[in-house]
């Protein structure tokens, strides 16, 4: 049989494969570029939120100080500029929700800036609501990041499927044409095609498992370098996807500054543990922890020193917690720890030990504070002894914390102590 049709068919397939590969590279490059841009937008949103939170804190703590007002004005103008930038980037990357939100919030920022310039009352600003809305926007951006990465993954997977399909067509066609005259030379190709067919039938659903199966079943000495390159690409791609997913998961559940769990992760675990305690008649305890006179420390030493204290406190809390406990940053200088299957006595003992350790731990310039040291106050509450659900459990632990601050600081108060004395605590902590 003439080899001319085989050669011409091979050349045609080669051009199709080259054209498809070039198209894939361009298309995949555009998808990857968008995925990287969405990832960058997601990270920049955290900086936007940090600046917005800083403005909220400045408006709450020192709204009448000229230097603070000047810094607030600069930060608001920075947010206005960045919101315009976000609108442009969101429009280019098909993120209409983000663009719409940034556009609508510009009016709020302009009004706030006008109120400050005209020295109007700014106590009723909408920044806390903006922060809550921004959390939803950040969550949606995180979803967009995952979808964009999944899109890249799906396109690459489809490309590999097409490549394998084309290779199969070429191998099977060539084998069918040559087998009658060159059986012994075609046999290795026939065996390769058979292995590929068997492998395709046994591929697991997980892409990672697929790569492991390919590494295990395809031996380099028996197959071409092209197949080996495809195998290595599958393995590398799988490892990159796993690494990105791990980093994305950490962004979802960890507080960036302290490396403790964030409030969302803490609340999710608290709801589940309270439901499980109710079902199996168990106890769940939580503690709310606040750094005493932290505002005074920040004012005296600056926010950089304050951040160092937060990180050091978080490290001590993390080390003293058990494996099953959930330590989290609740907000500002306030921390929370969830103690599953733990009664109030045991939880109080753990928090007392933590308070003593922090009390003797040296901190930068703490001698300048009243009492000469940085300390913590804590409130403890236990389900079902002190609360009927997860929400009231947090509230009652917070009331106990306020009582600890109100009665001298540097102490641990359990909510049952308030109940026994018939006390109710409300107000602001400092």
Angular region, 369: left φ>0, alpha ψ -120 to 50, beta rest:
beta
Interval 1-33: pLDDT, tens: 455 666 777 677 777 778 877 887 887 788 788
CA 350/CA 327 separation, integer angstroms: 13
Tell me, yes or no, whether 24 lies in a domain. Answer: yes
| Whether the predicted pLDDT of 175 surpasses 90 | no
Both tokens assigned to 307: 């951040």
Residues 312 and 193 in one domain: no
- Region of poorest pLDDT, from 179-188, 315-324, 419-428: 179-188
Tell me, yes or no, whether 252 lies in a domain. Answer: no
Residues 163 and 304 in one domain: no
Tell me, yes or no, whether 97 lies in a domain. Answer: yes
CA 263/CA 327 separation, integer angstroms: 10
Interval 364-402: pLDDT, tens: 877 767 667 889 999 999 999 999 999 999 999 999 999
Residues 287 and 161 in one domain: no
Specify the DSSP class assigned to residue 367. Answer: G
| pLDDT (0 to 100) of residue 246 | 61
| pLDDT (0 to 100) of residue 229 | 60
Both tokens assigned to 385: 């002894």
pTM for the model? 0.45
Q: Are 291 and 333 in contact (CB under 8 A)?
A: yes
Buried b (16+ CB within 10 A) or exposed e, 379-399: bbbbbebbbeebeebbbbbbb
Q: Which of 133-137, 255-259, 387-391 has the highest mean pLDDT?
A: 387-391
| pLDDT (0 to 100) of residue 421 | 67
Tell me, yes or no, whether 190 lies in a domain. Answer: yes
Based on its alpha-carbon atoms, the radius of gyration of the chain, rounded to whole angstroms, reads 31
| pLDDT (0 to 100) of residue 206 | 43
| Whether the predicted pLDDT of 185 surpasses 70 | no
| Whether the predicted pLDDT of 267 surpasses 60 | yes
Q: In what order do the strands lie in the sheet with 284-291?
A: 326-331, 334-340, 284-291, 376-383, 412-414
Q: Which residue has the higher pLDDT, 190 or 68?
A: 68
Tally the C-alpha atoms within 13 A of residue 59's C-alpha that lie toward its C-beta: 24
Buried b (16+ CB within 10 A) or exposed e, 38-50: bbebbeebeebbe
| pLDDT (0 to 100) of residue 275 | 94
333 is catalytic: yes
Both tokens assigned to 108: 């709020």
Residues 188 and 60 in one domain: yes
Residues 267 and 197 in one domain: no
Q: Is 340 helix (H, G, I), strand (E, B) or coil?
A: strand
Q: Which range of residues forms the domain containing residue 192?
A: 1-202
Tell me, yes or no, whether 148 lies in a domain. Answer: yes
Point out the catalytic residue in the list 133, 201, 320, 333.
Answer: 333
Tell me, yes or no, whether 277 lies in a domain. Answer: yes
Q: Are 286 and 393 in contact (CB under 8 A)?
A: yes
Domain boundary among 187, 202, 217: 202
CA 328/CA 313 separation, integer angstroms: 12
Q: What is the mean pLDDT of residues 86-110?
A: 77
| Backbone angles phi and psi of 115, in degrees to 5 | -60, -40
| Vertex 248 angle, CA 242 and 252, to 5° | 140
* Helical ranges in 179-224 per DSSP H: 183-202, 207-217
Tell me, yes or no, whether 256 lies in a domain. Answer: no
Tell me, yes or no, whether 64 lies in a domain. Answer: yes
Residues 291 and 397 in one domain: yes
Residues 3 and 111 in one domain: yes
Residues 270 and 198 in one domain: no
Residues 277 and 194 in one domain: no
- Region of poorest pLDDT, from 108-112, 220-224, 248-252, 312-316: 220-224
For residue 284, CA distances in Å to 388, 391, 394 come to 11, 13, 11
- Which CATH number is 404's domain given? 3.30.70.270
Domain boundary among 202, 227, 251: 202
For residue 331, CA distances in Å to 129, 263, 306 come to 16, 8, 14
Q: How many domains does the chain have?
A: 2
| pLDDT (0 to 100) of residue 1 | 46
Tally the C-alpha atoms within 13 A of residue 336's C-alpha that lie toward its C-beta: 25
Q: What is the mean pLDDT of residues 147-161?
A: 80
Domain boundary among 153, 173, 202: 202
Residues 191 and 292 in one domain: no
CA 366/CA 13 separation, integer angstroms: 75
Q: Which of 71-80, 252-261, 335-344 has the highest mean pLDDT?
A: 335-344
Residues 92 and 177 in one domain: yes
């Amino acid at each position: 049989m003439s080899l001319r049709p085989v050669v011409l068919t091979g050349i045609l397939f080669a051009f199709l494969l080259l054209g498809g590969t070039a198209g894939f590279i361009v298309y995949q490059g555009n998808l990857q570029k968008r995925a990287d841009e969405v990832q960058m937008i997601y990270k920049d949103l955290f900086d936007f939120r940090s600046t917005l939170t800083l403005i909220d804190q400045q408006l709450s703590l020192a709204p009448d100080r000229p230097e603070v007002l000047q810094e607030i004005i600069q930060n608001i103008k920075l947010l206005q500029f960045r919101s315009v930038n976000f609108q442009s980037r969101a429009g280019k990357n098909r993120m209409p929700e983000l663009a719409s939100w940034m556009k609508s919030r510009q009016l709020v920022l302009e009004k706030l800036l006008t109120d400050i310039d005209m020295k109007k009352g700014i106590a009723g600003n909408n920044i806390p609501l903006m922060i809550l809305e921004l959390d939803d926007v950040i969550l949606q951006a995180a979803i967009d990041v995952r979808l964009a990465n999944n899109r890249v993954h799906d396109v690459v997977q489809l490309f590999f499927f097409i490549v394998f399909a084309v290779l199969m067509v070429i191998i099977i066609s060539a084998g069918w044409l040559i087998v009658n005259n060159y059986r012994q030379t075609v046999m290795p190709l026939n065996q390769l095609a058979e292995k590929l067919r068997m492998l395709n039938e046994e591929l697991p659903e997980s892409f990672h498992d697929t790569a492991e199966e390919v590494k295990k079943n395809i031996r380099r000495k028996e197959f071409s370098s092209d197949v080996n390159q495809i195998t290595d690409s599958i393995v590398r791609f799988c490892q990159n996807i796993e690494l990105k997913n791990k980093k994305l998961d950490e962004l979802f559940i960890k507080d960036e500054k302290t490396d403790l769990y964030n409030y969302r992760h803490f609340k999710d675990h608290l709801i589940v543990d309270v439901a499980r305690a109710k079902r199996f008649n168990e106890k769940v305890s939580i503690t709310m922890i606040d750094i005493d006179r932290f505002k005074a420390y920040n004012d005296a030493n600056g926010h950089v020193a304050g951040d160092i204290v937060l990180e050091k406190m978080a490290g001590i809390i993390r080390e003293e917690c058990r494996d099953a406990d959930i330590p989290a940053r609740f907000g500002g200088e306030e921390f929370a720890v969830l103690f599953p299957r733990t009664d109030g006595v045991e939880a109080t003992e753990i928090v007392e030990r933590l308070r003593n350790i922090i009390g003797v731990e040296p901190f930068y310039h703490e001698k300048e504070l009243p009492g000469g040291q940085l300390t913590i106050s804590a409130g403890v509450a236990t389900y079902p002894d002190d609360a009927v659900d997860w929400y009231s459990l947090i509230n009652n632990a917070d009331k106990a914390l306020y009582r600890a601050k109100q009665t001298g600081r540097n102490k641990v108060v359990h909510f049952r102590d308030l109940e026994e004395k018939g006390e109710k605590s409300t107000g602001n902590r400092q």
